[in-house]
Amino acid sequence: MIPWVLLAGGLVVLVLAGRIASRRSRGITQGCGVLLAAIGGLLLLRRRSQGLTLPGLGPRRWHQP
């Protein structure tokens, strides 16, 4: 749920940044919007618990020698 909120929030900020008159404020707002959208997109694209099924990528387990 959080990745979708970040992605949508970033896109909304980008759309609303076009209404800001000051050039510097618009750039800062657009940068924050892109950052939020990118974080949300990366969270959506990451693999969830697939590493547990691949050999060598699961959680480390210590065994008594």
Q: Tens digits of per-residue pLDDT, 15-60?
A: 888 888 888 888 889 999 999 999 988 888 876 655 445 556 566 6
pLDDT at 64 over 50: yes
pLDDT of residue 35: 92
DSSP state at residue 19: T
| AA identity, residue 1 | M
Among 60, 54, 56, 43, CA closest to 7? 43
Instruction: Write down the domain spans for the chain.
Output: 2-45
C-alpha to C-alpha distance for 33 and 62, rounded to whole angstroms = 43
Distance CA 18, CA 14 (A): 7
Containing 44, the helix (H) or strand (E) segment is helix 23-45
Is the pLDDT assigned to residue 4 strictly greater than 60?
A: yes
pLDDT reported for residue 51:
47
> Which comes out higher in pLDDT, residue 27 or 65?
27
